Structure 1
């Protein structure tokens, strides 16, 4: 009986010892420990208008500096996170907006937000979600902090149509222990809508996201965007999976097959029709 009573205590001691060991290793390497290293990967493909690109920037800036996100950071085990943002389009367009930053108080978050707003996005052709995932995974390998979790936060308004298959890039990132969350932009009105698909949320679930507590939060109207980003960041910082109301229901079962090459096929069809470059 006394052995059973000691079991929880021994488990706690082991976990506490492991945490002390990780802290000692981090200090030895001169690294700050953070709850999560989070990469924000922002779509700037030409299917988004300049107005939408600006709305996207303002939405991320407002969410990062919001009191709710600051509170989520404070509630973490270490009370700090590492954050980096870059924009992506085709497989060759990857541009850092804000480099790795330690966020542990409101002033840090506001400084990050100010840098986001100080820059401006310009749309680029094609959509390479696979390239964005691969680049984000490489950034996480070189993060200058010791993180309990590695997360890629990817937003976009269309399926992959450039670079290698998105499932290959996703699976490679998942093998490294990275979680990928998605913010599919299912809005209308931007240019290049012929390259988009109506069930982008399903595509993100089946082909893009994965890992522990991964999730997808669709945006169907730009008015929803700031709140969606804020909720997404809070969930990613806390490492929690959202409850169903936060996620738009989709009518399918996970056993049904899904064509993760749909974006490439649409591009090939339109390329022949409009004489587009390969």
Structure 2
């Protein structure tokens, strides 16, 4: 009785093999130098004008020829990028899904997608929620030599779970957390009354982490465009050990 049973098992395995191969091929990922997740703060401290400055700043960064040159200089000559906006612990909206960038033309397409993306703002500031959401975005279509989350914002975590826990879990998964802190020239009165730390110090001490992690500080939203351009160029082109921990951009 064992011999016929063995034949049936082998036959079943043989019939299943093509399905397994097809499934693996469907999940095959394209290798890139960096998987870069751009996480953009749209909490209530970001007004309509500042939101437009952020989106325009990202679009201008991807139109900068130095960015395409930086991509070309990588080992594989390609990166993958996606962008989502975040606010409350349960609000994260992907505006531009994953795209492979391997030259000026694809960078221009990403910039055009940003031009056409919705502009939206919400209420609270959940950096922990943004990190948790960003961590789930990796490995969907691409496999990067590095996985980087670029978190931009102008406030501290005030929604969702503890930031330290979200940060630790992301770092344990090998994700690098970089920050782009915007120093708002007109901070919310509630922040002043609560005695909260300066946003740049908060991002430096509580948000960024991982090999080569760094913080870019925009001195006001009018400095955002230059800050994001310098930041992304550094993220895609530099070795993890290069560059200062904190850089500043002035309008």
TM-score band, normalised by the shorter chain?
A: 0.7 to 0.9
Residues 204 and 245 of structure 1: CA distance in aligned 2, closer, same or farther (over 3 Å): closer
Q: CA deviation at 1:206?
A: 1.1
Equivalent residue for 1:161, pick from 158, 162, 174 = 158
Q: 1:148 to 1:28 in 2, by over 3 A?
A: farther
Q: Is the 8 A contact 1:215 1:242 kept in 2?
A: no
Separation of aligned partners in 2, 1:150 and 1:193: 36
Q: What do you get for the CA RMSD once the two structures are aligned?
A: 2.0
Q: In the aligned structure 2, how far is the partner of 1:161 from the partner of 1:62?
A: 30
Q: What's the TM-score, normalizing by structure 1?
A: 0.75
Displacement of 1:128: 0.1
Contact 1:86/1:96 (CA < 8 Å) preserved in 2? yes
Secondary structure of 1:100's aligned partner: strand
Paired residues in the alignment total 221
Counterparts of 1:38 and 1:27 in 2: how far apart (Å)?
A: 23
Equivalent residue of 1:60, what SS?
A: helix
Pick the aligned partner of 2:183 from 181, 186, 197. 186
Q: Which residue of the other structure, out of 121, 143, 151, is the alignment partner of 2:140?
A: 143
Residues of 2 paired with 1:222 and 1:28: CA distance? 42
Give the match for residue 4 of structure 1: none
- For 2:191, which of 195, 205, 214 is the aligned residue? 195
Whole-angstrom distance in 1 between the partners of 2:62 and 2:137: 20
SS of equivalent to 1:217:
strand
- 1:121 deviation in Å? 1.8
- Structure of greater Rg: 2
- Whether contact under 8 Å (1:131, 1:164) holds in the other structure is yes
Q: How many angstroms apart in 1 are the aligned matches of 2:46 and 2:242? A: 27
Structure with higher strand content: 2
Superposition TM-score, scaled by structure 2 size? 0.83
Give every structure 1 segment of 4 or more consecutive aligned residues whose post-TM-superposition deviation is greater than 3 Å: 26-30, 195-198, 239-246
Following superposition, the deviation at residue 32 of structure 1 comes to 1.7
Counterpart residue number, 1:212: 211
- List gaps (5 residues or longer) in structure 1: 1-25, 249-278
- Contact 1:85–1:96 (CA<8 Å) still a contact in 2? yes
- Distance apart, 1:195 and its partner CA: 3.2
Instruction: Say whether 1:173 aligns with 2:174.
Output: no
1:27: Cα distance to partner?
Answer: 8.8
Which residue in the other structure is 2:111 paired with?
113
Deviations 1:190-236 (A, max 9, x none): 6x452374521111111111001000011112232111111111111
- The Cα shift of 1:81 comes to 0.1
* Aligned counterpart, 1:258: none
Unpaired runs of at least 5, structure 2: 1-23
